[in-house]
Amino acid sequence: MNAVERAVADAHRDEWAAVLAATVRVTRDLDTAEEAVQEAYVQALRTWRRDGVPDRPGAWLTTVSRRTALNLVRRRRTLDAKLPLLVTPAAEDAEPPAAIPDDRLRLMFTCCHPALSPEAQVALTLRLVCGVATPDIARAFIVAEATMAARLTRAKKKIAAARIPYAVPPAAELPARVDAVLTVVHLLYSTGHTAPSGGDLVRAELCGRALELAGLVRRLLPDDREAMGLQALLLVHEARRDTRTDAAGRLLRLEDQDRSRWDRAQIAEADRLVVAALRAGPPGRFTLQAAIASLHARAPSYEATDWPQILTLYGELAQVWPSPVVALNRAVALGMVDGPGAALAEVDALERDGRLAGYHYLAATRADLLHRLDRDTEAAAAYREALAGCDNEAERAFLRERLRRVTGSRR
């Protein structure tokens, strides 16, 4: 890759959302805006080779993209006069804004609107905010390219037809809408972190995009505590990402991971964010999860982790986010504080509750607790149950290995 190609690639990664967001103000239609932005990047490759890379690539791209968009719009306005257009907050022919961060925020709120399905929100965010090509999005979510293309088209059609606004929501709705944006970013990271199926456990590209988005959201909403919490949470995950599997790609438990290889700078940055978020007000679910992850990351060993504090934090998390998955994690912490017997009672109660039916982490947790209580016959049955519900190859290999241990040489 030569210098110009690298400059264009960098600008694609760093400026895509801002250029698109500024262009949507001209077109008020996402498809036309995308077309104009793509054309601007093609022109950049050609022109920059001849004239050199401009001082402010983003401004150059925005100007070219908006000019292209204006031409497209003028040509089309006569063709289809009554197409529904995006609702924009200001006059569309205003001067090109010099990278107003609000524009990207508007774009994110549009992509993560609750009127769109969660799958569509994630796909749109990758396509429109990150500029990831449709075939790459399809690969990341293990669906056919045509399926992903149709999903994106349907979502964009709904945005236009139902007039999902291109705007920052009013204050009354802001917390819920910010939560939707953060949820999408978190889902993106999780998809990259633990692929739902197939052999590739870590998809660094998706994780990287999610980290960039988390940083972007935090810069755009500097007073939002949960935006801080999410960025901290992702940083801790990222700091430990390389140690989640061994050289053969097998999954390693937290207690078996090589802590000396964790990225201390990322953990310190995450901790700084957690402290700032906790000081700023009552913590939400992302901040609490980040606080828990940060405690784990700063502990010298699994045994020397501050389990009582982690148990307390899980208790708080269960208050703000009453999810059975949180209750399951709380049970694991309880097992470290009060022993496996107390934890097993909680896990059994969760099993009776039924909401986690088929969730293989429930059976795996049960199996681990039973094994610690020397009830290996029951533990083996629970590992088999977990295996039946798990389709991630790395996790399956891990569960098979655990099953071999509790059944001795009988398998």
Residues engaged in binding another protein (CB under 8 A): 84, 87, 89-90, 113, 115, 161-165, 167, 169-170, 173
Q: Least separation, in Å, of the C-beta of 25 and another protein?
A: 13
| Cα separations in angstroms, 284 against 28, 83, 278, 326 | 35, 41, 9, 13
For another protein, the closer of residues 86 and 344 by Cβ is 86
Specify whether the CB–CB gap between 352 and 324 falls below 8 A. no
Q: Least separation, in Å, of the C-beta of 215 and another protein?
A: 27
**What are the φ and ψ backbone dihedral angles of 117, each rounded to 5 degrees?**
-65, 155
Q: Least separation, in Å, of the C-beta of 161 and another protein?
A: 5
Q: Least separation, in Å, of the C-beta of 152 and another protein?
A: 19
| CA–CA separation, 386 and 388 (whole Å) | 5
For another protein, the closer of residues 150 and 161 by Cβ is 161
For another protein, the closer of residues 110 and 231 by Cβ is 110
| CA–CA separation, 403 and 367 (whole Å) | 9
Specify whether the CB–CB gap between 400 and 387 falls below 8 A. yes
Q: Least separation, in Å, of the C-beta of 114 and another protein?
A: 9
For another protein, the closer of residues 90 and 248 by Cβ is 90
| CA–CA separation, 63 and 293 (whole Å) | 43
For another protein, the closer of residues 165 and 324 by Cβ is 165
| Cα separations in angstroms, 300 against 241, 263, 270 | 17, 14, 17
Specify whether the CB–CB gap between 158 and 127 falls below 8 A. no
The tokens of 196 are what? 């739902």
Q: Least separation, in Å, of the C-beta of 158 and another protein?
A: 9
For another protein, the closer of residues 94 and 204 by Cβ is 94
How many residues are listed for the chain in this entry? Answer: 411
